[in-house]
Structure 1
Amino acid sequence: MPNLITYARKAANFTCTVGLLFASVQSSAIEFENYQLEGNPENATVMEYRGRPALQITGGRYWFSDMTLSDGVIEFDAAMDESHTFFGLIMRAESDNHFENIYLRAHLNKKPDAMQYMPVVNGISSWQIFSDQNAISAAKYDYNDWNKVKIVVQGDKADIYVNSNEPTLHVPDLKTDIKTGRLGLWMFSIEKTPVYFSNLQVRALTPDDKIVGTAKETPALADGLIRSFKVSEPVPEDTVGHNHWLDLDIDKLSWQSLEVESNGIANLAKLSGIADKANTVLIHESIETDKAEMRKLRFGYSDRVQIFLNGKLVFAGNAGWKQRDYRFLGTIGLNDAVGLSLQEGKNDLVIAVSETFGGWGWTAAWE
């Protein structure tokens, strides 16, 4: 098996030439356990913690400056307290805005979503889109002590071990389709408390390293699920509608087709990120009927939606994180419905989906 971890060290001074995708990143080098990490040195300190050398990080991303990863094994020990903290691994990064992400939620010890897999595409996270048992898992943490983390990546699959000899989470389908890219550590803490890393190891697969986890069974996709959508270029949210009517001329917008993910949800960020105030895309469906009739559309979205039928607003909602109560996550499912009064002949259904944080997604099924 070829070594799929590419090293780019210059032995004399342990520096490397960074590719054009990352050439504009201005950061300092931090040497730790024979690795060189690039990031903000104000938020990272090499020190001793609980009897061993450790890298204390209080926030940000820290890239391994001397390697890219395709398939391989990443191991580290991490120590943290029970504060509201997120930390983990960025891998196969094509750019600062496009990568695979595996992370732990320190404050959710033993909870069903203590750890998360998600792709980041066009700079937009997607945990509200990927929230089934193939993307989240419970994990048991030992606070203020060392927790063993091991990640095995092969092809489009990954096994993640946390204080366990069996996979804590198996990811059966890494979503970005990036084959190789940069590797990094990251963390964010609402309370500004640190995470300590130790015993870093990144290596190629050996014959003993295998993907052993299996995909969890998930509910069947809904009957009537719409599997492809016609999606517009992004527009500012405040230009979409006025006084309960659609303001935009949809014929002047550019459109692309987007297939849903394996869970039936369309990740709208795959077509575009958010630039300036352009945080909204339109989804257009033309419906032909030979008589006037009512149809029920079940749907889910994040973060906000406006649904227009023949130019008139028939539904508006906000399912953003914490927008309904302090525990509301905004994960996407077919949890809402609207009755559509269709006229004889052609009907234009336009859905405006706006994003702030956590996942730009839409799913729908006819019933």
Structure 2
Amino acid sequence: MKKYIKLLVLLGTFVPTIAYAKQVFTPQDPAWTFTGQAVTVEEIDGIQGIKIGRGQAILNDVLFENGSIEFKMYMPQERAFAYLYFRGENEQEYEEIYLRTHKSKAPDALQYAPVFQSMAAWQLYHGEKGTAAASFPANKWVPIKVTLNGSTLQVWVGDMQQPAMTIDRMGREPKAGWIGFRGFVPRTSDAPFSAYFSAITISPSAATSEVTYNAKSTLPSGQITQWRVSPAFATEPGPIEVIPSKIKNAKWIEPIMQPDGSFELLRSVEVPGDMRNWAAVAKVALHSNEAQTCKLLMGFSDRITLSLNNTILVYQDASYRFDKPRRQGLMHQEQLLVYLPLKKGKNELQAVIADNFGGWGLMGRLDQCDGIEIR
């Protein structure tokens, strides 16, 4: 039976009242479930902590939605990643923040990302949506405080008076779920561990902010929101010139749009677990009252094959690379500029979006176009 931090107490026959209980979890607490490599309880610098190399420490029996999560973290100076998971619905659906331990003071030292189908969409969440600078010294215990208030996330690092990160609208709708920690040391790193975690304190509270999930109300003129998207299919890196016939005849969907006019395919399109590289097709009809050339601004992750009226216009690969050359693969609205030679009447715009890591998304906006109806 799950242990709810948010306890429901019935006062009278029909009127429920919610009581909140603060809980402290030591590294030795039996509530933890350790998985992965090199996850142990050890002492460092005089404090017992959960030491994680490449693994996880999960509080499966705790459901938490709003309030604060506080803990101390001890990080190496070498390249590693230290995660907090929260609002976990299952092993595949949750949210996370993580510290890039080697990037203290860098603009992306802190990262927030929603996770869909076990894959974090960090390439779609950067800047105000997902990254922030923070200073955290190596080889020293550093206090971390995370607050969740409806759709708002704030993170404090060290003894700062103001939060290092504020995300006004997280990627998933608020829902109570499990929490946990993860550590990851890349194989190219000399880090002896990813992080130690200790003094974990969870303090639930009621949400005081709400967000209306209405993506289309604040979009700029020309933003394309009428996409229809195919099921996923297996593919290989490179341009996708032929769409499988079974995909053409399958059921297509309207994706869930986000406030910036983007959509995350993993939110709506299921990817079978045996696919290493996958793709989906997004289509929209552009009805023009005359023949004209229109500017199209596209954001995508990771690879796009763009066609107009069955003619491929461009292929571009923006997937992540650690080096040779270094490339983050971050999606943004002006990532790709294409001039569309529209004919009078109906034009079919098709984007084949392929991915295998870091976030799978698309956004498009027409610019300097008149007499266009998007369907």
Give the TM-score normalised by structure 2: 0.81
Q: Which moved more, 1:348-357 or 1:165-174?
A: 165-174
Alignment of 1:306-325 (within 5 A): 306-322=305-321, 325=324
- Once residues 336 and 53 of structure 1 are traced to their aligned partners in structure 2, the CA distance between those partners, rounded to angstroms, is 50
Deviations along 1:154-188, one digit per CA (max 9) or x if unpaired, are 22222211112321111211221141111111111
For the residue of structure 1 that corresponds to 2:266, the secondary structure is helix
1:351 is the counterpart of 2:351 = yes
Match of 2:297 in 1: 298
The aligned counterpart of 2:45 is 50
C-alpha spacing 1:305/1:42, structure 2 compared with 1 (3 Å): closer
In structure 2, the residue corresponding to 1:337 is in which secondary structure? strand
The percent of aligned pairs where both chains have the same amino acid is 25
Give, in whole Å, the separation in 2 of the partners of 1:145 and 1:228: 51
- C-alpha displacement of 1:351: 0.6
Which residue matches 2:56? 61
Runs of 4+ off more than 6 Å:
239-242
Partner of 2:166: 170
Residue correspondences, number: 332
Q: Is the 8 A contact 1:286 1:346 kept in 2?
A: yes
2:285 and 2:36 map into 1 onto residues whose CA distance is 54
CA-to-aligned-CA distance 1:124-151 (integer Å, 9 cap, x gap): 2111111122421100011100111011
Counterpart contact for 1:240–1:352, Cα < 8 Å: no
- Partners of 1:85 and 1:188 lie apart in 2 by 6
* Residue of structure 2 in register with 1:121 after alignment: 116
Displacement, 1:222? Answer: 4.8
Alpha carbons of structure 1 residues 314 and 246: separation in structure 2 relative to 1, 3 Å: farther
Tell whether the 8 Å contact from 1:31 to 1:37 is kept in structure 2 after alignment. no
Query: Measured at CA, do residues 125 and 273 of structure 1 come closer, stay the same or move farther in structure 2, by a change above 3 Å?
Result: farther
- Secondary structure (helix, strand or coil) at the match of 1:348 reads strand
Q: Is the 8 A contact 2:291 2:343 kept in 1?
A: yes
How far 1:37 moved relative to its partner? 1.2
- Look up the equivalent residue of 1:341 and give its one-letter code: P
Structure-1 separation of matches of 2:192 and 2:229: 41
- Deviation, 1:288, is 2.3
In structure 2, what residue type is equivalent to 1:352? V
8 Å CA contact retained: 1:4, 1:72 = no
Contact kept? 1:116, 1:136, Cα under 8 Å: yes
The aligned residue for residue 200 of structure 2 is: 200
| Matched ranges for 1:119-198 at <5 A | 119-163=114-158, 164-190=160-186, 191=189, 193-194=192-193, 195-198=195-198
Kept after mapping to 2: 8 A contact 1:77/1:149: yes
> Which residue identity does 1:338 align to in structure 2?
V
| Contact 1:239 1:247 (8 Å CA) reproduced | no
In 1, the alpha carbon distance for the partners of 2:267 and 2:4 equals: 27
Which one of 208, 215, 232 corresponds to residue 234 of structure 1?
232
| Deviation for aligned residue 1:80 | 1.2
1:99 counterpart (83, 94, 98): 94
**Which runs of 5 or more structure 1 residues have no equivalent in the other structure?**
8-29, 212-219
Q: 1:355: Cα distance to partner?
A: 0.8
Matched residue, 1:16:
none
Contact 1:122 1:272 in 2 (8 A): no
Greater Cα shift, 31-40 or 256-265: 31-40
User: Counterparts in 2 of 1:233-272, with a 5 A limit?
Assistant: 233-238=231-236, 248=245, 251-272=248-269
- Superposition deviation, residue 272 in structure 1: 2.1
Structure 1 residue 56, shift from structure 2 partner:
0.8
| CA deviation after TM superposition for structure 1 residue 108, in Å | 0.8
Contact kept? 1:33, 1:199, Cα under 8 Å = no
Shift of 1:230: 1.2
Q: Return 260-269 or 270-279, whichever deviates more.
A: 270-279
Distance 1:143 1:93, change over 3 A: same
**How far apart, CA to CA, are the structure 1 residues paired with 2:244 and 2:90?**
36
**Structure 1: how far apart are the matches of 2:165 and 2:198?**
22
SS in 1 for 2:63: strand
The CA distance in 2 between the partners of 1:166 and 1:39, in whole Å, is: 33
TM-superposition CA deviations, 1:2-51 (whole Å, max 9, x none): x97258xxxxxxxxxxxxxxxxxxxxxx9725352112275211111101
Work out whether residues 240 and 248 of structure 1, in 8 Å CA contact, stay in contact via their aligned partners in 2: no
In 1, distance between residues paired with 2:359 and 2:311? 27
C-alpha deviations, 1:220-260, integer Å up to 9, x for none? 96542223421111112259977x56665764121111243
Partner Cα separation in structure 1 for residue 362 and residue 96 of structure 2: 21
Q: For the structure 1 residues 319 and 340, does the alpha-carbon distance in structure 2 shift closer, same or farther, using more than 3 Å as the test?
A: same
- Return 245-254 or 171-180, whichever deviates more: 245-254
After TM superposition, the structure 1 stretch with the greater mean CA deviation from structure 2, 109-118 or 60-69, is 60-69
RMSD across aligned positions (CA): 2.8
Does the C-alpha gap of structure 1 residues 260 and 325 become closer, same or farther in structure 2, counting only changes over 3 Å? farther
Answer whether contact 1:97 1:120 (CA < 8 A) is retained: yes
